[in-house]
């Protein structure tokens, strides 16, 4: 581990996988979130520091692209690389590689530092965060273009449940990904996994609050998913499924 990168290896367990023994997007992104937290902790940004400084990192945007499905019992290595703040946004790239070293997935996350008392974005980092040895530039990036349909159909009314919320008191960013996948047609997800996603986190949904889940079909394999409350959009994303039989290696998945 150094200031510019942090690496961990994980085994994919049955609890991480779907009905086709493929690692779910939410499970992978929870590993990405955890390694980001572990990296900051290793550099001295502990939970005690955040509590004392009344600060927290919140995810603003996320994009992820899969090069192939990640399967049960695989051992995968994640390497995360953060960038110094630019216009108050902290970029972090996380590579996911298989045992042979080949790239299985790439995640591009954009974070903001907030004051937990005022809920305002901090345009300047704290002294400790400014001193972190993050890279000046991390070259890799994924596109964040997010087409929005003219209309989306309401699917269901939901409530920010106990199992979805984290220590910040609102729905955890990865749980929105779980929710979005649940809104995709099961027959499509059973046939082929996600190939890519791009999401924006606009407003927090605190524990216990109600919201509306909506969706719209953009093309045969691409869906728009949104979570809204009256007069405000909280979450939205575009989710593209792979072609049937996609393995990422020019063949079919076994």
Query: 242 burial class (0-12, 13-18, 19+ CB within 10 angstroms)?
Result: buried
Query: pLDDT value at position 247?
Result: 82
Query: pLDDT value at position 248?
Result: 75
Continuous H helices in 147-241? 173-183, 186-191
Contact 202, 234 (CB under 8 A): yes
Question: Residues of 104-142 as b/e, b for ≥16 C-beta within 10 angstroms?
Answer: bbbbbbbbbbbeeeeeeebeebbeebeebebeeebeeeb
pLDDT score of 254 more than 60: no
For residues 2 and 225, which has the higher predicted lDDT (pLDDT)? 225
What residues does each domain of the chain span? 1-142, 145-254
Structurally, at CATH architecture level, domain 1-142 sits in: Roll (3.10)
Query: 76 burial class (0-12, 13-18, 19+ CB within 10 angstroms)?
Result: buried
Query: pLDDT value at position 251?
Result: 38
pTM: 0.94
Query: pLDDT value at position 250?
Result: 42
- Find the helix packing angle between 173-183 and 25-42, rounded to 10°: 170
Query: pLDDT value at position 123?
Result: 93
What is the rounded distance in angstroms from the CA atom of residue 136 to the CA atom of residue 125? Answer: 15
Q: Could you check whether 1-142 and 145-254 share the same CATH topology? A: yes
CATH number of 145-254: 3.10.129.10
Give the percent of the chain with pLDDT over 70: 97
pLDDT in tens, 51-100: 999 999 999 999 999 999 999 999 999 999 999 999 999 999 999 999 99
pLDDT in tens, 107-144: 999 999 999 999 999 999 999 999 999 999 999 999 99
pLDDT in tens, 187-212: 999 999 999 999 999 999 999 999 99
Instruction: Report DSSP state, residue 44.
Output: T
pLDDT score of 249 more than 80: no
Contact 198, 146 (CB under 8 A): yes
């Amino acid at each position: 581990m150094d200031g510019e990168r942090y690496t961990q290896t994980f085994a994919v367990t049955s609890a991480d996988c779907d009905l086709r023994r493929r690692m779910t997007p939410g499970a992978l992104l929870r590993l990405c979130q955890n390694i980001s937290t572990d990296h900051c902790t290793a550099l001295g940004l502990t939970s005690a520091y955040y509590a004392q400084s009344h600060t927290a990192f919140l995810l603003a945007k996320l994009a992820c692209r899969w090069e192939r499905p990640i399967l049960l019992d695989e051992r995968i290595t994640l390497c995360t690389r953060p960038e110094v703040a630019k216009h108050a946004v902290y970029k972090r790239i996380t590579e996911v590689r298989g045992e042979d070293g080949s790239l299985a997935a790439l995640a591009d996350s954009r974070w903001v530092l907030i004051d937990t008392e005022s809920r305002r974005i901090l345009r300047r980092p704290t002294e400790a965060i400014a001193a972190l040895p993050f890279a000046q530039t991390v070259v890799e990036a994924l596109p964040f273009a997010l087409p929005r349909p003219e209309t989306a159909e309401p699917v269901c009314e939901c409530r920010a449940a106990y199992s979805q919320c984290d220590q910040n008191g609102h729905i955890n960013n990865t749980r929105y990904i779980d929710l979005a996948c649940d809104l995709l047609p099961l027959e499509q997800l059973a046939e082929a996994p996600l190939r890519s996603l791009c999401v924006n986190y606009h407003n927090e949904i605190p524990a216990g609050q109600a919201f509306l889940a909506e969706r719209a079909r953009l093309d045969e394999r691409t869906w728009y998913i949104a979570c809204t409350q009256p007069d405000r959009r909280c979450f939205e994303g575009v989710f593209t499924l792979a072609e049937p039989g996609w393995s990422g290696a020019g063949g079919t998945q076994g």
